[in-house]
Chains A and B, each alone.
Chain A
Amino acid sequence: MEATGLLLYGVAVLTMGGIYAILALGLNVQWGFTGLFNLGVAGFFAVGAYGSAIVTSPAAEGRLGGFDMPVAVGLVAGGAIAAAIAWPIGRLTLRLKADYLAIGTIGIAEILRLVLKNEQQVTGGAMGLSGVPRPFEDLARPYDELAFMALVAALVLAIYWALERARRAPWGRVLRAIRDNEGSAEAAGKDAMAFKLEAFVLGGAIMGIAGAVYAHYVKFIGPEAFEPLMSTFIVWVMLVAGGSGNNRGAILGAVLIWALWSATEVATSQLPVEWTTRAAYIRVFLIGLALQIILQRAPHGLLAETPPPPPRAPEVKDGAGAEDGVRGRPPA
């Protein structure tokens, strides 16, 4: 009994940690790769969650949706809706410098939260959406949770693999160039605005997928589930702690910070009631403190960014070009 309880706890921590890892990977595309300062993570997460919930939940009176579609469609829809919202936002705000982008994305997350809370016929308003289907629910007790965790892990791995490919590809190289020196990237003929927009939309879509997975995990979502600052902030701490620019760092930071966060929650829940609420504030304070220490003492995070080696120049035929200083493979 005890062992099953412990197992389920571990599985729950890893599942949520995985969902946060997807969020951190999405933020890594925007901030780590491209240097886009997005403080509206919670907004994209919420849009993805609501999008998937509306598509997959059974039909309901008095609100849009209930299309009763399979979960896989929901995940795609969550990502697509988040991307569709990220595009106009990016068009409007990406030309701004980081400071303005930060304020702008806070504002957008705030407006999205107002819309989710007030548009009763779409989102169920303050009551939220219930009856979101959860995959593998028919399996026996530990196996349903294990299967869901496996699904999350598979998604994390798939996104990680795709992002690693993108990072090593010319596309990722351009993003880093824009991040480090936008002017010279443009001088080299790159359309910085287009690349930034692509990174912003891709990152937003990944955050939307994370939101969709979350909706299917908890089966109920309401506007209160997306406390705008805290959920955005914890993802930032995860990415900065793990190492921004490093996909593995994003995953490691997410799982580690989430494990710490929930372990302290368990520890403080043993305290008397009047202390548990206080302990919650102390935990928020400490995570803020942790961020300050990381920023000052370990700015690269646990896993520093390792830029992929520059690509080899195209193969040069024997002799030709070698004396011109063109780098090529030495002749065999």
Chain B
Amino acid sequence: MLDLINFYLIPGLVVGAIYTLGAIGISLIFSILRVAHLAHGDLMAIGAYFALSWVHLLGGPAYLALPAAMALTALVAIGVDRTCYRPLRRRRTVMVIIASFGVALMLRAALMLIWGPDTQVYQSGIQRPMVVAGLRLQEKHLFILGAAIVLVVLLHLFLTRTITGKAMRAVSDDPDLARVCGVRTERVILAMWITAGSLCAAAGVFLGVDTQLSPLMGFNMLLPMFAAAILGGIGKPYGAIVGGMVIGLAEELSTYPLFGEPLIEPTYKSAIAFTIMVLMLLWRPTGLFRGKVL
């Protein structure tokens, strides 16, 4: 039982928190721009590598680099939107999806050019976990879960207490109505990229802290993050939290050796998110929280 908690449940929660932060951004972009943002994974990797540069230049643990990485990634997201997505705004949204597919490869190519193709870590060496009543608690896991909760609370306050946040929700619910009510759509889109870009940078840094950094880390996150966003319901940031946790836990628990052998071969672990996503789209395309269907 303790093994189940220590080696499957806690890592599942950590991975789920990382998926959540990425899925919130995907869900926001989906509901405001009405496109599936395929470059989200690679944007996340860029954020993780910004933090790596900070650690290389200034030293210290990776979480001190978090604010800078989030800010820089938000800037990259705004730059990408200005140059690649905004010129296509009046065209069919599917053109923006194709563009974001291209942006994904450009970001990854730039990443490999700047930081190299090899896997890297923020800090080498193994951290000894604290053992409290049989529970193995690793410092990095506590940091990731704690920081993720703080970020989600901040997002909640932003969306419910600020004018910009309310405008974002208004555009997401009904863009035309929001516009005739005087909501400036381009400002909302700017706020959306800042939110989505910084949250996905945080997800990237957390993933790097939890495991390691590699140029493909973002792409490998793309499917689970989309699965989480769709599971929670597009345009429902709180749904993304549930979606992220369900996907993360399902992935980790699926390899639990319940009957002596892993339920699913670990090599096929990445198929879980996809299966859940397809089943959800067939059974209830609005997601658990009654989001929208595009």
Which residues from chain A sit less than 8 Å from chain B, CB to CB? 35, 37, 39, 92-93, 96-100, 102-104, 106-108, 110-111, 114, 117-118, 229-230, 233, 236-237, 240, 277-278, 281-282, 284-285, 287-289, 291-292, 295-296, 299
Chain A contact residues: helix, strand, loop or mixed: helix
Note all chain A residues with C-beta closer than 8 A to B112. Answer: 281
Could you tell me if B98 and A114 are in contact, using CB atoms closer than 8 angstroms? no
Q: How far is the CA of A39 from the CA of B294 in the complex (A)?
A: 18
Could you tell me if A99 and B105 are in contact, using CB atoms closer than 8 angstroms? no
Note all chain B residues with C-beta closer than 8 A to A37. Answer: 94, 97
The closest CB in chain A to the CB of B83 belongs to: A292
Q: How far is the CA of A111 from the CA of B36 in the complex (A)?
A: 20
27 contacting pairs across A/B (C-beta < 8 A): A97-B294, A99-B30, A100-B294, A103-B277, A104-B281, A106-B38, A107-B277, A110-B271, A111-B271, A111-B274, A117-B267, A118-B265, A118-B268, A229-B105, A233-B101, A236-B101, A237-B102, A278-B113, A281-B113, A284-B106, A285-B105, A285-B109, A291-B98, A292-B83, A292-B99, A292-B103, A295-B99
* Distance of B217 from chain A, by nearest CB (Å): 14
Q: How far is the CA of A117 from the CA of B271 in the complex (A)?
A: 14
Could you tell me if A114 and B267 are in contact, using CB atoms closer than 8 angstroms? yes
Highest count of chain A CB atoms <10 Å: which of B98, B106, B223:
B98
Note all chain A residues with C-beta closer than 8 A to B219. Answer: 229
Q: How far is the CA of A96 from the CA of B104 in the complex (A)?
A: 23
Note all chain A residues with C-beta closer than 8 A to B106. Answer: 284-285, 288-289, 292
Chain B contact residues: helix, strand, loop or mixed: helix
Could you tell me if B98 and A240 are in contact, using CB atoms closer than 8 angstroms? yes
Range class of the B interface residue count: 35 or more
Q: How far is the CA of A295 from the CA of B87 in the complex (A)?
A: 9
Could you tell me if A99 and B95 are in contact, using CB atoms closer than 8 angstroms? no
Question: Is B282 interfacial (CB 8 A cutoff)?
Answer: yes
Question: Is B84 interfacial (CB 8 A cutoff)?
Answer: yes
* Distance of B77 from chain A, by nearest CB (Å): 16
Which residues from chain B sit less than 8 Å from chain A, CB to CB? 30, 35-36, 38, 83-84, 87-88, 91, 93-95, 97-99, 101-106, 108-110, 112-113, 117, 219, 222-223, 226, 230, 265, 267-268, 270-271, 274, 277-278, 281-282, 285, 293-294
Which of A114, A236, A281, A291 is B270 in contact with, Cβ under 8 Å? A114
Which of B87, B97, B99, B271 is A291 in contact with, Cβ under 8 Å? B99
Q: How far is the CA of A35 from the CA of B270 in the complex (A)?
A: 28
* Distance of B265 from chain A, by nearest CB (Å): 8
Note all chain A residues with C-beta closer than 8 A to B282. Answer: 92
Note all chain A residues with C-beta closer than 8 A to B113. Answer: 278, 281-282, 285
Say yes or no: A284-B226 contact (C-beta < 8 A), given A98-B94, A102-B38. no
